[in-house]
């Protein structure tokens, strides 16, 4: 297996260096070991190496980022490449001990058109929309890896997609972004035997006494042109406000789970994906030591878990549009400290009362961060709390900058609440984390 990792990295490097006159090389080596102190076992002992290669190409710059991961444990990994990846986006190697892949590969350049510049970014990349932290509303252009639920950093959890990304300035304070995404990759969900496999009735059908559930494999849309996603974002700076108007026509990356009685005592769960129109926007402004952030998204054709219909034992799903919003308030008036409060709300526009979740759900977040010892020591505390299900996630963390390119980390991920809630379903996965991040120049 080691030879496969080395071969993949060598091939990635060769692609970009074979014709290069000058190549800039950098990267990051990260390691995290997570110990479940409830079950007294290691969840993961993970090493991740990102190598970044940059070189000039024509009037622009070509960037390649390769990634190799190695985990001494097997709980958090797949035994094979998930079927949710598009054929041309799959990792080169993927098994229960890790993966190797071309993480990003894109060409950035500027083109003049009628004396107006167009900034192009072509290739496999990430696109970040929105102002929210911790949970996502507009930041859905790229699918996400849920290998560890939402515990991974967003930059690591996002799955880069092949796309055409063009940004066109309209004036000094406004620009428009256009996206065409033929990459049909969707969310990478945790495998069934993983510690972070979804079990909440809010997300997956539940077994009924005397009835077995048979889950068929999830498959992503497979036609790059017909199943393409399209996006547009208008950005405007006005009177101190950074504002955006966003639109995305896309396949929702969450699979729709439907049920059918395949045998007298067996219910088969199948999946498919549905298109949605997402319309939304964001706005932020600073007022002295305070920063106000807001974000709203309206989505069509969303599906939600529902109670069985007509007294049958078959779990159901309801199609409905939904509103989502977040209001955030950040404060930096205390020396070397940062405070952030957020209120998330989701409102499902569904008739009747068949939904398993409430039609309106609210989640609060609180982040406190303080820097000490000449900003070499950072202490932080994040808390996410659901007002409806009374469950949540607490994440205290310590980061120490030992050298300019070396950080040491120590933290705890503690879930709490009823196991039927979004966070409470992982109440048994509480863990202690220790690791480091070493920048390679």
pLDDT value, residue 400: 98
Mean pLDDT of 210-220: 74
- Residue 93 vs residue 373, higher pLDDT: 373
Check residues 4 and 114 and name the one with the higher pLDDT.
114
The more confidently predicted of residues 64 and 255 is 64
Does position 15 have pLDDT exceeding 70, yes or no?
Answer: no
- Given the DSSP bridges, would you call strands 60-71 and 98-113 parallel, antiparallel or unpaired? antiparallel
Spatial neighbors of 41 by CB under 8 A, at least 6 apart, are 35
Q: Mind listing the pLDDT tens digit for each residue in 333-373?
A: 999 999 999 999 999 998 888 888 899 999 999 999 999 99
Most confident residue range from 291-305, 310-324, 347-361: 291-305
**Distance from C-alpha of 288 to C-alpha of 333, rounded to nearest angstrom:** 8
pLDDT at 428: 94
> Where residue 198 sits, what CATH number does that domain have?
2.40.160.10
Domain count, the chain: 1
User: What domain range includes position 316?
Assistant: 2-440
Written as six digits, the tokens of 77 are 């990994």
In this prediction the pTM is 0.90
Which pair of tokens denotes residue 195? 């510690």
Residue of 259, 256, 251, 211 whose CA lies nearest to 228: 251
- Of the two residues 41 and 354, the one the predictor is more confident about is 41
140 in helix, strand or coil?
A: coil
- CB of 165 within 8 A of CB of 121? yes
* CA 267 – CA 62 distance, rounded (Å): 50
Residue 431: phi, psi to the nearest 5? -150, 160
Residues 88-97: b if buried by 16+ CB within 10 A, e if exposed: ebbbbbbbeb
Does the pLDDT of residue 396 top 50, yes or no? yes
Q: What are phi and psi of 167, to 5 degrees?
A: -120, 125
Question: Would you state the pLDDT for residue 222?
Answer: 83
Query: How many DSSP H helices and E strands does the chain contain?
Result: 2, 22
Gap between the Cα atoms of 220 and 252, Å rounded: 11
pLDDT at 126: 97
* Contact in structure between 255 and 236 (CB atoms under 8 Å): no
Give tens-digit pLDDT for 126-135.
Answer: 999 998 888 8
CA torsion sign, 421 to 427 to 429 to 435?
positive
pLDDT of residue 5: 47
For residues 389 and 361, what is the distance between their CA atoms, to the nearest angstrom? 9
Query: Going along 312-356, which residue ranges are E strands?
Result: 316-331, 337-349
Question: Under the phi-then-psi rule, with left for phi > 0, alpha for psi from -120 to 50, and beta for the rest, what region is 333?
Answer: alpha
* Percent of all residues in the chain with a pLDDT value above 90, rounded to a whole number: 68
Stretch 295-319: mean pLDDT: 82
In sequence order, what E strands does 172-289 have? 174-181, 212-215, 229-238, 241-251, 256-263, 266-272, 275-287
Question: What confidence category does residue 6 fall into, taking pLDDT thresholds of 50, 70 and 90?
Answer: very low
What is the structure's pLDDT at 1? 44
Cα-based torsion angle of the residue sequence 296, 298, 302, 306 in order, rounded to the nearest 10 degrees: 70
Strand 266-272 versus strand 212-215 pairing type: parallel
Which runs of consecutive H residues, i.e. helices, occur in 1-140?
A: 2-17
Is residue 349 within 8 Å of residue 341, measured between CB atoms?
no
Amino acid 313: pLDDT: 60
């Amino acid at each position: 297996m080691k030879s496969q990792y080395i071969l993949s990295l060598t091939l990635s490097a060769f692609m970009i260096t074979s014709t290069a006159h000058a190549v800039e090389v950098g990267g990051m080596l990260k390691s995290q070991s997570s110990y479940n102190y409830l079950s007294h076992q290691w969840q993961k002992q993970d090493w991740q190496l990102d190598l970044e290669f940059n070189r000039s190409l024509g009037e622009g710059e070509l960037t390649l980022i390769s990634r190799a991961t190695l985990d001494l444990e097997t709980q958090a990994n797949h035994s094979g490449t998930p079927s949710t990846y598009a054929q041309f986006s799959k990792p080169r190697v993927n098994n229960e001990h890790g993966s190797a892949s071309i993480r990003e590969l894109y060409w950035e350049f500027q083109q003049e058109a009628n004396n107006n510049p167009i900034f192009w970014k072509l290739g496999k990349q990430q696109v970040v929309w929105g102002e929210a932290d911790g949970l996502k509303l507009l930041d859905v252009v790229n699918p996400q890896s849920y290998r560890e639920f939402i515990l991974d950093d967003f930059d690591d959890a996002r799955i880069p997609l092949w796309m055409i990304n063009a940004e066109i300035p309209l004036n000094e304070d406004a620009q428009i972004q256009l996206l065409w995404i033929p990459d049909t990759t969707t969310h990478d969900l945790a495998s069934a035997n993983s510690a972070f496999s979804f079990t909440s009735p809010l997300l997956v059908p539940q077994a009924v006494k005397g009835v077995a559930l048979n889950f068929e494999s999830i498959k992503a849309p497979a036609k790059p042109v017909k199943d393409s996603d399209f996006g547009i974002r208008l950005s405007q700076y006005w009177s101190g406000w950074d504002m955006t108007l966003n639109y995305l026509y896309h396949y929702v990356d969450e699979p729709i789970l439907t049920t059918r009685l395949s045998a007298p005592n067996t219910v088969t769960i199948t999946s498919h994906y549905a298109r949605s129109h997402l319309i939304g926007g964001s706005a932020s402004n600073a007022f002295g030591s305070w920063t106000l952030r807001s974000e709203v998204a309206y989505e069509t054709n969303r599906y939600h878990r529902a109670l069985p219909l007509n007294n049958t034992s078959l779990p159901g799903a309801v199609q409905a549009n939904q509103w989502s919003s977040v209001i955030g308030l950040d404060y930096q008036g205390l020396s070397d400290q940062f405070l952030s409060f957020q209120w998330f709300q989701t409102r499902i526009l569904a008739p009747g009362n068949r939904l398993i979740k409430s039609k309106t759900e609210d989640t609060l977040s609180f982040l406190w961060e303080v820097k000490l010892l000449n900003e070499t020591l950072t202490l932080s505390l994040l808390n996410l709390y659901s007002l409806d299900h009374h469950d949540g996630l607490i994440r205290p963390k310590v980061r120490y900058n030992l050298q300019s390119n070396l950080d040491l980390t120590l933290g705890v991920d503690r879930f709490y609440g009823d196991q039927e809630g979004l966070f409470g379903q992982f109440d048994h996965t509480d863990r202690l984390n220790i690791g480091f991040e070493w920048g390679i120049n």
